[in-house]
A = this chain, B = another copy of it.
Amino acid sequence: MAASVSPLAPKSVPDMPVVEGVKLATAAAGIKYRDRTDVLLVLLDPGTVAAGVFTKSKCPSAPVEWCRANLKGAKPRALVVNSGNANAFTGKTGRQACAFTAQIAARVIGCKPSDVFLASTGVIGEPLKAQAFDGVMDALVSGAKPEPWLDAAKAIMTTDTFPKVATARTSIGKATVTINGMAKGAGMIAPDMATMLSFVFTDAPIGSRALQKLLSDGVADSFNAVTIDGDTSTSDTLMAFATGAAAKRGAPKIANPGDPRLRGFRNALQMVLCDLAEQVARDGEGARKLVEIQIEGAVSKKSARRIAMSIANSPLVKTAIAGEDANWGRVVMAVGKAGEPADRDKLSIWFNDIRVAHKGARDPAYDEATVSQAMKSSNISLKVALGLGRGKDRVLTCDLTKEYVAINGDYRS
């Protein structure tokens, strides 16, 4: 399925700087695709620390279990990611494939297999032929370079229509540090599996506990605030690696996540995570509109999040937006089904800053022509004010189009 690039793709790709201590290489191992790269090796200098956030699925993939098991006290030296096969629901064979892949990499690099982190995305239920990595690992290790970030982001794509990278600079003490990230999003063709993978690298000398805290905090309003269809992959993985190389340039080593010197870093990391997460929404399957759901006046942030997700995952809301219909009735429905405190007669709803409903009824100033025009935009902002409290939230999603069904329905006949 030759998907054209999403109309919501960012207009430009940032120049990705190097991150001291990180080298990358890609190869075509022939896992599933022809004529494209499907393996990414990231080499990490000694002293690197890692943090990770993984799928909440009760049926996680073998690589997710591998990473979880090895994260504590890890001394990561490499990350191996493949596309084309998710190594999920592959039983014992899947665990063996993980061990084998890590062994190959460890042998060439000269580290322990547990220092090698793994992620896989693609077909599920098919055994991953990890032998394929054996033929390319030497070349990957010897050919790894600090520059090819965009190539790296391309190698981990499945049915993504564009590579996703983001970068930010900030300072810790008087030293400049860099944060680079890449992601792949929720694109799939049957029998492929949606998987969100994202990897972030920095040269900041941050301890693993601090890194984990910043990552765990950061995910709430970035990747966890994006939904394509409410489905959760068995393989979702977000990892961060800090090489500490900036310490040579005078950056202080920081172990405590509460250290005030991390403020700039925290903001920069958040920017990278939010940028990548938004790119994932922009590449939602069949997406023609990027939809931002804003909730205010809920009884709490948590309640606002639940209401936002109920709207963002409602097929009726999403199809209405695809049809350029400011169907606030369906928004009321989605607010109502969230199960959170809501008072119909206090609700107000805006589409792209036009108030369409107010205090439980259609806005007296409602003008069909104005609203219809606004709905033609490829960016839709949907705001709901509940009028109950001070709870706010924001999530991103996309519309639900016939193309989504076509992509996922396969229509084998």
- A residues contacting B by CB (< 8 A) are 55-60, 88-91, 93, 123-126, 188, 190-191, 193-194, 229-234, 313-316, 319-320, 322-325, 327-330, 332-342, 344-345, 347, 357, 359-362, 372, 376, 400-402, 404-406, 408-413
Additional 12 contacts, C-beta under 8 A, given A59-B347, A89-B361, A125-B329: A58-B338, A58-B340, A89-B362, A125-B362, A190-B323, A194-B316, A234-B332, A315-B400, A319-B404, A319-B409, A322-B409, A402-B406
Contact between A316 and B413, CB atoms less than 8 A apart: no
Which of A126, A234, A332, A376: most chain B CB closer than 10 A? A332
Which of A329, A330, A337, A406: most chain B CB closer than 10 A? A329
Chain B min CB distance to A192 (Å):
8
Contact between B231 and A319, CB atoms less than 8 A apart: no
Question: In the docked arrangement, what's the CA distance between A408 and B319, Å?
Answer: 6
Chain B min CB distance to A147 (Å):
36
Listed A/B pairs (25) with beta-carbon separation below 8 Å: A56-B339, A58-B340, A58-B341, A58-B342, A58-B344, A59-B347, A89-B329, A89-B362, A90-B361, A91-B345, A91-B360, A125-B361, A190-B327, A193-B329, A230-B315, A234-B332, A315-B404, A315-B408, A319-B408, A323-B408, A325-B410, A402-B405, A402-B406, A402-B409, A405-B405
Q: How many copies does the complex hold?
A: 2
Question: In the docked arrangement, what's the CA distance between A361 and B230, Å?
Answer: 24
A56 neighbours in B (Cβ, 8 Å): 337, 339
A359 neighbours in B (Cβ, 8 Å): 91
Question: In the docked arrangement, what's the CA distance between A340 and B58, Å?
Answer: 7
Question: In the docked arrangement, what's the CA distance between A234 and B344, Å?
Answer: 10
A404 neighbours in B (Cβ, 8 Å): 315, 319, 405
